[in-house]
Amino acid sequence: MKFDKAAGKNPIDQLKVVGKPVDRIDGPLKVTGTAPYAYERHDVVPNQAYGVILGAAIAKGRINAIDLSAARAAPGVIGIVTHENAGHVGVGDFYTARPLAGPAVDHYHQAVAVVVAETFEQARYAASLIRVDYARTPGAFDLETARVSGVEPKAFPDTHVGDFDTAYAAAPVKVDATYTTPDHAHVMMEPHATIAAWEGDKVTLWTSIQIVQWGLRDFAKIMGMPKENIRIDSPFIGGGFGGKATILSDAVMAALAARAVGRPVKVTLARPHLFNNTTHRAATIQRLRIGATSDGRITAFGHDAWDGNLPGGISERAPLPGLLLYAGANRRTTVRQTQLDLPEASAMRAPGEAPGLMAIEIAMDELAEKLGMDPVALRILNDTQVNPAEPTTRFTIRQLPEAFRTGAERFGWDRRSAKPGTVRDGRWLVGMGTAAAIRGGPVSPSGARVTLTMAGRILVESDMTDIGTGSYTIMGQTAAEMLGVPVDRVDVRIGDSAFPAASGSLGQRGAASATSGVYAASVKLREAIAQRMGLNARDTGFADGKVLSGHRAIPLDEAARGGAIVGEDSMTYDDAYMKSMERQTFGAHFVELGVDAMTGEVRMRRMLAVCAGGRILNPKTARSQVIGAMTMGVGAALMEELAVDKRFGFFVNHDMAGYEVPVHADIPRQDVIFLDELDPDASPMKAKGVGELGICGVAAAIANAIYNATGVRVRDYPITLDKFLDRLPAVA
């Protein structure tokens, strides 16, 4: 089925199941500890051995020699794989880092060897006995130093609209400030893990991965083998945030080890390896220059950003949100990337928008202050209903002003003091802050197979994944709506490459894409059921477990008496139609916090997100996604930072003790409002997404609230008390 025009009225619009706060289909498995995560698939293949990865002890250089003698002699050891006996190991299409070091070492904790033993403890001990002779070479580990000393290539196309330099020079009100964001870690709950088993030249990976089709593509390229010889099974994922987009070293090393020892091998990365062996969000340096008229209309918008990565790695693209967020006739953005020899930087929740808005939305508040204007009013004034660079291209729907107006009223924004540092509650300085949110609303081709079984149940199958977002549930809701049955009559099986290909979970596209695939397959099934029953498909409806045609209401079960009926299809998208409009999601964040006047401690008091993301397929799971994203935004604002050892090139705080993330005590009351919105130009579900929108802008809203509370502006994240304690207002 092809999506090439606005969706009209369809069965989803009944909203008997879709749009309802349905409990998670997979919830009982998760709360009882019986959901099968990758490392715990003990029953899928017998005789599993344990693999433990040894990571490189240098960040850049070469391996002169590896002494495996003591490790091979250790109890329980079955085999050891290094670059010397691994065979071909290439690089996939998404990640640029090599999964196996040797003889060159590209970054700290790059896999050097995998030791296989009968038990995990034996493998871990044997790995500690390996002796590696390294030749260390100098590397680049500091973004600011590398930026100043090197020539940075373009990492993202420069954009030029109008004459930025002239307009900025002529603007009566200007902001020119530089902001920095540090390296961030995904810190997902479940570490990267894989069980690999070979049968001849075919391999099965039970792994934790967000996009199954990318995994097939990249594993095939890395191993130099046909995709048809690979099966990936990933029904449950304990968090990803972009850090498990495709194949990483756990899967590669497990497969190499399993092939070498001739039996299944399971590998999980130790927690420090999640920080230095896999990927992270890159640090950025961002310069914002905004010029405006005296009444607040933006006339010049300039955003220059720098980030760093391994050669060939992707850029963080911090100026991305500014391309579409506000009006302004004269605009310029640049992105430059310098080579760093740190572990690879790659996608992390809302890449581009999340760090870009951390800077843009502080700059907007700074502009509002110079104008003597309310920050909410300034943002509404500079709204645009068309692409600022291409005024003939409109947004499918854009409710950013509505998000701000709704949020301001609900939050009590009119009680905010415009003068910073003037509101106190005992020893606490109290402030409010706001920020805009924008995140793309993309969709990807997705397929599914929907079956009416002989038992009268509906079975949904797709290689879509669920990273804790609720894919099982919304896909089940879609099939239930289309076939006129309650959700408890729907079984959902996902994450297996043997099933029809779907979008996977990345970039806020999963919900709308995967459910659209189920929609397409369900249409096929409806037609097949009508044909078997001798009915005209166009005049056939499905409701209350019955097939409706004219005055007839036939139990759905009767259709399956002659055998199961299958509908399989994919939803694809017409390029010209999809490029004719901008599809984005929008929101507004509001926070209130307190800053201890004596110690500088920051305490969140309350938070509100107002989101416009198309039809909300399940408000319960959607709310869960948004409050989780808001929590990540608190972390980015106040505590999260990968500390770089700039001598030896690694992230020092590579564990959950040193890399701080918010805990329950850090998070106050969180409210979420979903604006009533349908986007028929986005998908047949008229839905987009909210899972990444919820983090966009949160950190800047907190930074702005800290300024409102204290009168101290901090432009370098995280906003730890050492950056403003000495500038707090004097205590009477």
Catalytic residues: 692
The three-state (H, E, C) secondary structure of 208-255, written as one string: CCCCHHHHHHHHHHHHCCCHHHEEEECCCCCCCCCCCCCCCHHHHHHH
CA nearest neighbour of 76 among 112, 50, 55: 50
Write the DSSP symbol of residue 583.
-
Nearest CA-CA partner of 237 in 530, 477, 515, 35 = 35
Rounded distance between C-alpha atoms, residue 494 and residue 448, angstroms? 9
CA atoms within 13 A on the CB side of 623: 16
Contact 236, 26 (CB under 8 A): yes
Neighbours of 676 (CB within 10 A): 9
Token pair 């983090």 in the structure block, residue:
695
Distance CA 63, CA 65 (A): 6
Triad 417, 418, 423: Cα angle to 5°: 30
Q: Do the bridges between strand 330-339 and strand 298-309 make them parallel or antiparallel, or are there none, so unpaired?
A: parallel
Structure tokens at 272: 């420090």
Q: Are 587 and 693 in contact (CB under 8 A)?
A: yes
Would you list the DSSP string of 471-532?
Answer: HHHHHHHHHHHHHT--GGGEEEEESBTTSPP---S-TT-HHHHHHHHHHHHHHHHHHHHHHH
Measured over all CA atoms, what is the biggest interatomic distance in the chain, rounded to whole angstroms? 86
Dist. CA 636–CA 698, nearest whole Å: 9
| Helix boundaries (H) for 339-496 | 353-371, 375-381, 400-411, 471-483
> Which is nearest to 362 in space by CA: 640, 706, 721?
706
